Structures are given as structure tokens and as C-alpha cells.
Amino acid sequence: MAPGRILRSTSPQQPDDVVGEWPDGGKEAVETAVSRASRASHEWRAARAADRGRALAEAADRMASDARGLAELMVREVGKPISEATGEVSRAIAILRYYAQMALDADGETYPSGSGRAWLFARRRPRGVAGLITPWNFPVAIPIWKLAPALVYGNTVVLKPATDAMACGLRVASYFDLPDGVLQVVSVGSLGASRLAELREVDALSFTGSSRVGTGLAVAAAGNGIAFQGEMGGSNASIVLPDADLAVAAPMIASSAMAFAGQKCTATSRVIVVGDMERVCAALVAAVARLNVGDPARPETVVGPVISEGARETARQAARDAEAAGGRVVAGGGSIDGAGWFVSPTLVRDVPREAELACEEVFAPICAILAARDVDDAIALANATPYGLVASVFTRDLDMAMSSIDRLDVGLARVNAPTTGIDYWAPFGGAKGSSAGPREQGKAAREFFTKTVTVQIEPSH
């Protein structure tokens, strides 16, 4: 245990409200949990698939019975507006029920044998112990979309939630009634979490968080023979072409950039305009002005606080740096008076292409507006970042839409749709520095949480 170190979660809208405190178990807590998970692995993988599915369905029922309480905890702990928090809980319940049924999906494929007499088939088997490191911004949905497939395919799980969402992580785990050691939550800081990439008893490590941390974990996991999956952010573009319907596009872009204070890896952080810059800027400024900012417990709130004082200062500094580089703030740009870590939704136009705001993730309610000469230039600009998670194109020209999305170097391409949000049964993941390893969600999750065993059976004579 880290001597005397306490992990503390506080409410971003009321920083003196301590949601919870937990001793930092350090590397020793992770080692103990992994050892228990390893001992439980054989029994859990041998359980009937239907029983594993039933365990998820029962967890979904328990979560549904506590849906309001869980949503309110999310509001309090991470400042997510109640409308989004309620939707996230509903999504998590649906994911659990989806994977409860997935337990009975086919677990392999057959092939013709070379001899014509043998049986040749590939079967999917659980990897073993899965370490999961999850962020604070989706404190229910992301743990669930990782642990649900991990469990249903027969893996045991060690879950390390973000400190800022520890109470949510513990509440999520409380809905599961599983054999000892099958699902454990560890209350540890970053040093303890890194141990999950070092222990040879860990068979798979799934991470969502920053690119810097994820890259370090990926290197460590590779060195120890641990399968790694990482989702590591984005600098996502919405391309507005001259024929776009701004009455639809502007509110959609404003929401995807600013809702939940822009604290989503899929949030729009760059708007790339082809054509009338003045008209697009005016529409975006008006759309942002209509977003309700304030107490996340109010049903009308769209933009709540950022997660911490440091995050608030990062957002303000990003606006100052963009102005110093030649950009012009046309909406927001500062803090909002009050006890919490509130930032005014900010739009900065004419940001130079080499400026940090034009290519890096800020994770705050701030968005750059850039001009492009034509569609080719817009696509090149959208691709000119280390990330490649998601991009949207707004146009009424079907041919243009089809040709554009084929040239975007992203994992998620949208047309006339926000960069945020994706159906939970569809593959999720990005390109370049946004992702590593197989996709998450839906049937794609099987690729990471299972391994293939190819079996050949020959007749004895």
C-alpha cells in the first residue's frame, strides 16, 4: 500500500463536497487482486455460457432498479448533466442485456480439412485475467462496455476506475453477484494501475484515457506478452461544406463540441469551413449561445463544469494561446463565476493550422474554427493531427459525402451527424494515435477478449 496516501473524489460543481475517500492500495493491491482473479479463472471459464449470460442480465436488473440513484451519483461525482447521466445509465443497462444474449452466440467456425476426413474448426476461448483501466468521463458506460464482454466470454476482471469516478466504479461493481475473485475493483493511483501491464498473470489489458499514459502501458504490456487495447482520444473535425443545412448542422456541432463541457474523446474540437466563413461562424455562435450552462443537476443544463481546477486552467490557457497565435475568440473564453470549475463555451476562429488548438485535444468546451480552400484542403486539414478517432462531414451532396468519408483517416466517419455518440452494437475505435488493438463494443469485442484455438480431429483409422 502507498503509505498514508488517500485517493479523494470531489464534486466539480461543489469542490468542497467530498464524494469519497479511499486508501491507495498501491501495487500490492493490484498484485493481490490479479492473483485472486487468476485462481478464479478456471472455474469461471468452465461455467455454462448461459449462466454467465444470466449473471449479466441480473446485474442489468439491479442497475435498472437503481437507475436514478446511479445517475445522480454520476452528476455529483463527475458533473455530467442529469440528462446525459440518465442516458448513460440506460445505455449501460442495454449493453449488459446485449452481452447477456451474446453468451449464446456461436463460439467458433468450421473449415474443410486438407484430408477431407478430419474435422477442422476454430474455437474461441477466454484469454484469462483481464485488466481494465477506465476514465472518469463515462464512469458507467465505459466500465460496462469493457467488463460485460470480458465476463460473458469467460474472463475474470480486475477493474481500476479513475480516482475522480471511484464511487461510480464501486457502485457499478456492486450490481454483480459473481463467484469470489471473478470481478474486483482496485482503489489505486497511477503507479498501482501500471502494475496491470507488468504482471504475467494478466492476459489482456484494456485502457481508455490519455495518449501519453496509454502509450506507456502499451509498451509495457507488449514487453510482458499481455494483449493490449487502448482508446486514447482525438482531435475531431466537423467539415462544413457550402451546401450544408446550417439550421441543422450548427446546433448539432455546438452540442457535440460543448455538451458535458466538451469532455468526450469524440467531442468536436475543430470546425473546418469550406465556403462562407462569416455565415458559418454566426450560426455556430448563435447555437452555442443557446446552450444552457450551469448546475448539472438541472434538467435543462447542457454544459456543466470541467472535472477539476487544473482542467479549467488548461481550457483558459488554450484560449489565450490560440489568441496569441492569431485566432479570434468569438464566444466565451473565460471562467464563469461560482464555486465550481465552470468554463464558458468557447469558439476561436481563424486559428492558424499549426496552433495547438488546431491539432491537439484540450478536453474542454473550446472549439477552433478553421477555413479551408476547398474539399481536398478540408480533408487534408482534418487528417493533419496525430489522432484519427472520428470526423463528420455536413453536406447535402451524396457523391461528395461518399468520396469525402473514404479519404478521412479515422475509425468513425459520419455524414450530417455529430462526432459524438455511436450505437453500442457497432465497432468503436480510431486510427493513428487514437487507438491500439482491436475495436471495442458489439461483436467486435470478442476479438480482444477471446483467443482462437484451432482444432483438428482425425479419425483413428
Same domain, 10 and 78: yes
- Amino acid 337: pLDDT: 76
Structure confidence by residue, pLDDT tens digits, 98-123: 999 999 999 999 999 999 999 999 99
Same domain, 264 and 310: yes
Residue 249, pLDDT above cutoff 70: yes
Same domain, 20 and 133: yes
- Amino acid 403: pLDDT: 95
What is the residue range of 117's domain? Answer: 6-232
Q: Is 125 part of a structural domain of the chain?
A: yes
Q: Is 246 part of a structural domain of the chain?
A: yes
The values of phi and psi at residue 454, to 5°, are: -90, 125
The mean of the pLDDT values for the chain is: 96
Same domain, 217 and 274: no
Same domain, 289 and 410: yes
Same domain, 257 and 221: no
SS3 15: strand
Q: Is 169 part of a structural domain of the chain?
A: yes
Instruction: Tally the residues of the chain.
Output: 461
Same domain, 253 and 144: no
Same domain, 127 and 222: yes
Same domain, 270 and 139: no
Q: What is the mean pLDDT of residues 39-51?
A: 97
Q: b or e along 308-335 (b: 16 or more beta carbons within 10 Å of the residue's beta carbon)?
A: beebbebbbebbebbbebebebbbbbeb
Domain end: 215, 232, 249, which one? 232
C-alpha to C-alpha distance for 229 and 95, rounded to whole angstroms = 19
Q: Is 90 part of a structural domain of the chain?
A: yes
Same domain, 70 and 96: yes
- Give the residue among 168, 128, 124 at the shortest CA–CA distance from 144: 168
- Amino acid 143: pLDDT: 98
C-alpha to C-alpha distance for 313 and 411, rounded to whole angstroms = 31
Structure confidence by residue, pLDDT tens digits, 72-101: 999 999 999 999 999 999 999 999 999 999
Q: What is the widest separation between alpha-carbon atoms in the chain?
A: 83
Q: Which one has a higher pLDDT value, 422 or 182?
A: 182
- Amino acid 4: pLDDT: 66
Active site residues: 231, 265
Structure confidence by residue, pLDDT tens digits, 154-203: 999 999 999 999 999 999 999 999 999 999 999 999 889 999 999 999 99
- Amino acid 336: pLDDT: 80
- Amino acid 301: pLDDT: 97
Query: pLDDT-derived band of residue 333, with 50, 70 and 90 as boundaries?
Result: confident
Same domain, 404 and 272: yes
| Count of structural domains, the chain | 2
Q: Give yes or no for a contact between 277 and 264, defined as CB atoms under 8 angstroms apart.
A: no
Query: pLDDT-derived band of residue 3, with 50, 70 and 90 as boundaries?
Result: low
Question: Rounded to the nearest 5 degrees, what angle is found at the Cα of 367, between the Cα atoms of 237 and 402?
Answer: 15
Residue 394 makes CB contacts below 8 A (sequence gap 6+) with: 238, 239, 240, 241, 244, 245, 248, 249, 253, 415, 416
Domain end: 232, 249, 283, which one? 232
The values of phi and psi at residue 10, to 5°, are: -125, 160
CATH of the domain at 93: 3.40.605.10
* pTM of the predicted model over 0.85: yes
Residue 1, pLDDT above cutoff 50: no
DSSP classification of residue 260 = G
Same domain, 200 and 256: no
Structure confidence by residue, pLDDT tens digits, 362-410: 999 999 999 999 999 999 999 999 999 999 999 999 999 999 999 999 9
Question: Rounded to the nearest 5 degrees, what angle is found at the Cα of 285, between the Cα atoms of 279 and 286?
Answer: 90
Structure confidence by residue, pLDDT tens digits, 260-316: 999 999 999 999 999 999 999 999 999 999 999 999 999 999 999 999 999 999 999
CATH of the domain at 374: 3.40.309.10
